[in-house]
Each structure stands twice: as C-alpha cells, then as structure tokens.
Amino acid sequence: MTTPSLTKTDDRPLRTQDGDDAPLLVVDGLSTTFASPKGPIRAVEDVSLELRRGHTIGIVGESGSGKSVLSRSIMGLVPSYATRTGSVRYEGTELLDAGPKELRKIWGAQMSMVFQDPMTALNPVQKIGAQITESIREHLDYSKTQRRDTAIALLRSVGIPEPERRLKQYPHELSGGMRQRVVIAIALACGPHLLFADEPTTALDVTVQAQILDLLETQQAERNMAVILVTHDLGVVATRADEIAVMYGGRIVEQAPTQVLFRQMRHPYTEALLRSIPRLDLPSHTRLEAISGRPPDLLHPPQGCRFAARCPYAQPKCHAEEPELVDDGTGHLFRCWYPVGIASEQTTVDSVVAEAHVREVGDEIATDTDVIEEEA
C-alpha cells in the first residue's frame, strides 16, 4: 500500500469572498481581557492584522508582551474567564461568534498551533502515535493503516529517528527536543491552511532550530499555508517573515514589512530588541546588552507610553500621553511620540505624519499635472 503524502491535503474548498487575493485572516481591533480578583487584566488591546495565503507574519516581543495570548485569542483557545472583543474573520467567517462545535471543525483541519511547551501540550498518559493520528481520524477519511503510515512519515519528516518505535512511546520517554518535534508533527498532520508557531524551536539546539524552521518553510510552500510565527528573537523572523509586528504591553508598537522594519526602525523598543541579540563580530566575553526595567503591569497600565519607563529617549510627553498607532505614509506603523531616526529631538511624530501627507499631496498634484498636459 502507498504511504499517504505529507503534502496532500483533503479536498476542502477554500472559501473566499473576493477571489484568491482576499485575506485568509483578518483581525480587527481584537482585545482580550482576563478577569481576576484584583481587576481586569488587559493582555491584548486593539490589535489588527491581515494575513494572506502563503505569507508569514512574525509576532515579536519579550515574555509578557501578549504574543501567545494574541495567537490563542485568534484561535479561540482562551479560558472561560477571558473576554474577547473586536473581530476575527477566517476566510470570511467570524470566529468570535463561533461556538465550540464549529471551532472543533476548524481546529486541526483549517488552522493549527505549535505550542510553546511540548510537555504540557502532549497528553502524558497517551502514546505518541495515538496523539498524532487523533486529528487525522477526526478530519480525514483515512484507514487505520493509512493513519499509521502518515504518522510515521510525519515523525520522519521532523527528524525523529526510528519513527515506528516512537509511535508506541509516551511523551516522558522522549527528550525535550523530540517532544517539540512531535508537537510540530501533530500540528501539520491534516495540512492546515493557517499555522500558529508559538516559539517552535524551544528546547532545540541551534542546528536543529534551523532544520525545524526550514521544515516549516517547506511545508508552508507546498501547502500555500499562512504562518504566524511567534518569537522573542528578531533574528528568527528576519529571514522567515514577510511582515513583522512588534508587541509590548499587549499592544502593537511597530509593524512593517520585514525589510522596511530592519532598514528603518521607528520604535525604541524594536531598537532595544535588536541590540540585545548576540553578535558574532564582537570580541569574546563582551557583555550583552539588556533592556533595563520590567514590562508594564497590565492590571494597572501606565498613563502614557507603556515603554516610557524603560526608554532611553523618553521625554515628559511620553509619560503623560499615550501615542496612537500611526502610519508614516509607506505602510510602516509605529506608536511613538519621538520615533527613532528623527534628526531633532524636538521633532515629534506629528512631523513625520505631516511629511508623509505632503509627499502624498505632492504625488497627487504631479499626477493631476500629467493628466492636464496629456489632455492639452
């Protein structure tokens, strides 16, 4: 019997409203608040994203910035004491209104997640083979032999040796790195259209990290799959993401296409994250740069900019007023009163936006002039 191909998906039609160019996922003003005895905790606030098939968006930020909560909020994997507001549309379907039965039809088949901690993601009393074939049995019309063959092929594809024997083992019998690869195999089992990779290389050494990221990239290309890559490392998304959204204190503080963001960072937090990455060109034993201070208290967020207390460029206005997320006119979004790269410290974000508006008006005048000359 022929082993089922890993790149083969079921024949589910892709539902789009505006053709192939329509976004696969549209997140509009999504906020997630957790109820607690001390008051509401605003873990995610007013986040908006768009993602098309075959594209990757990287969600970057340190621990506690809201990255994982955002991913789980989009999928609907939040506890009952969490309140979500806004809109999450997947292939034109609103997910915030979907019930548990509707979501179970989507989880695994349409969208899936590689969880950050494989030890808690895997069932400790169930064998690896049963956990991999669970979603296959639920969503695909495969025989028992086909499900087993697919599970073996999946384990082999993620670099696990002796996959036939691993199917009969329990999670505690595998190393941390192997458990992580099992979680990735489970997420890819049914060929989802949207994959959330929440720190997918956790507990893996450097060489295996590259192998896993290459694997995800290959599977994405073969399935035309969209990926949301969640990480704290800007170096990981530098060559893997089409667009990067930097989160801090539950909000997006900067968002732009990858090349644009690295070429012209606007937010001090993004700059600080980049500086904290170890560099090979520095002498041995060079002290690593760290971001001083601690993330903001989401139970009682500060009045002004949430990064102001840790920002080396902060001024009185930063502590008094919270900046809005603005566009510089090129699709580069940032939330800062005094963006990085501005020549004068007295120049505020208003000047950047005004400059973009002048360019836009100038382009319109030039276009109108060309039209008049052509008509003459």
pLDDT at 28: 96
Residues 181 and 103 reside in one and the same domain: yes
131 and 257 fall within a common domain: no
Structural domain includes residue 306 = yes
Among residues 219, 241, 263, the one where a domain terminates is 241
- Do residues 155 and 272 share a domain? no
Question: Quick check: is 376 in a domain?
Answer: no
| Domain contains 179 | yes
pLDDT in tens, 1-57: 343 444 333 433 333 334 457 899 999 999 999 999 999 999 999 999 999 999 999
Does residue 1 lie in a domain region? no
Residue 208 lies in a domain: yes
Domain co-membership, 355 together with 234:
no
Give the CATH number for residue 116.
3.40.50.300
The whole-angstrom separation of Cα 155 and Cα 164 is 9
Residues 101 and 165 placed together within one structural domain of the fold: yes
3-state secondary structure 61-99: CCCCCCHHHHHHHHHCCCCCCEEEEEEEEECCEECCCCC
231 shares its domain with 105:
yes
The verdict on 179 and 283 lying in the same domain is no
pLDDT at res. 289: 85
Q: Which residues of the chain, if any, have pLDDT below 70?
A: 1-20, 203, 342-376
Determine the pLDDT at residue 225: 92
pLDDT at 273: 92
Rounded to whole angstroms, the Cα distance separating 293 from 109 reads 42
Instruction: Looking at the structure, tell me whether residues 208 and 86 fall in a common domain.
Output: yes
Report CA Rg, the chain.
Answer: 23
Q: Judge whether 13 lies within some domain.
A: no
Q: How many domains does the chain have?
A: 2
Structural domain contains residue 154: yes
Q: Which of 241, 273, 308 is the last residue of a domain?
A: 241
Asked which of 195, 210, 241 is the last residue of a domain, the reply is 241
In terms of domains, do 229 and 89 share one?
A: yes
15 located within any domain: no
Residues 144 and 31 in one domain: yes
**In terms of domains, do 135 and 195 share one?**
yes
- State the residue range of the domain holding 163: 25-241
Q: Please report the pLDDT score of residue 284 as a whole number.
A: 84
Contacts of 25 (CB under 8 A, 6+ apart): 49, 50, 51, 74, 88, 89, 90, 194, 226
Question: Looking at the structure, do residues 201 and 291 belong to the same domain, yes or no?
Answer: no
Give the per-residue pLDDT at 159.
82
